[in-house]
Amino acid sequence: MKVHNNKAWWLVLPVFLLVAFSAVVPMMTVVNYSVQDIFDSSSRFFVGVDWFKQVLRDSRLHDSLLRQFIYSGCVLLIEIPLGIAIALTMPTKGRWASVCLIVMAIPLLIPWNVVGTIWQIFGRADIGLLGWTLNALGISYNYASNTTDAWVTVLVMDVWHWTSLVALLCYSGLRAIPDVYYQAARIDRASSWAVFRYIQLPKLKSVLLIAVMLRFMDSFMIYTEPFVLTGGGPGNATTFLSQTLTKMAVGQFDLGPAAAFSLVYFLIILLVSWLVFPPPPHNPQR
């Protein structure tokens, strides 16, 4: 029977305790606000689940939730296949492999607020290359006033910013496939599609699950980029859950409903992430 040495866990225990403390204390504060009506440090009343009932009946939550799921679904449908395609075309050896890896990593290094500012300028019809070019071609484009233009611009901005993450994850997964599989495929004279379908795609399953979970979580919590680019407009076209929560907590100072809203928000992300990446079945050793 193989004996596992778990002493290495003591090295990461301080970091684990620090992260747990920094996460638990804010969470307990939010839970406290979600069940009380707090006016000041000395005036507070226990309201139970009233804030949750109010939030769940709020039409703003329903509209933002539907908008958020549509947006996250579009992000996954575009970025996952595109990331796989880019990873398959990237060179595996030589100087160009290093160059491609560096170029692919550049968008991931740009801060979120800077990304929003870049696309805000890029899409302007007077000085932006994208806006000016589309209008010069006769295509009426204005993300500040047109709902469809705003939605497409936010989606394309996210694709530009985060497809590199999917591509790099898939690239690392492809490089981890042993060469014996490709040798067997060459002996059997398998086509490129057969190699992708029966060798590469099955071996990328774990990597793709991680990519889907990361991109869903991040796209579902998106805030900075659309806030800088469109401010949630025109109207509420690009107002997602995070922006609705911010308006409720900071703009209206409804701390109780905002706390309940944030817990519902957290549970939705947790549930969908669990459905995408369920824990492995328990298989005790005999």
pLDDT in tens, 261-284: 889 888 888 888 888 776 666 555
pTM given for the model: 0.84
What six digits make up the tokens of 67?
A: 């908008």
Whole-number pLDDT of residue 1: 57
The Cα 189–Cα 282 span in angstroms is 40
Domain annotation for the chain: domains and CATH numbers: 50-276 (1.10.3720.10)
What six digits make up the tokens of 137?
A: 């071609």
**267 sits in which H/E element:** helix 255-276
- Residues 255 and 33: beta-carbon distance below 8 Å: yes
pLDDT in tens, 78-112: 999 999 999 999 888 878 888 888 888 899 998 88
pLDDT in tens, 161-172: 999 999 999 999
The label of the residue with tokens 């796209």 reads 219
The Cα 225–Cα 116 span in angstroms is 4
Q: What is the DSSP string of 77-116?
A: HHHHHHHHHHHHHS--SSHHHHHHHHHHHHHHHS-HHHHH
The lowest-confidence range among 11-20, 66-75, 136-145 is 11-20
Please check the confidence at residue 16 and state whether its pLDDT lies above 60.
yes
> Dihedral sign, CA of 131, 132, 135, 139?
negative
Paired strand residues for 45? 37
Whole-number pLDDT of residue 231: 86
| Residue 79 dihedral angles phi and psi, to the nearest 5° | -75, -35
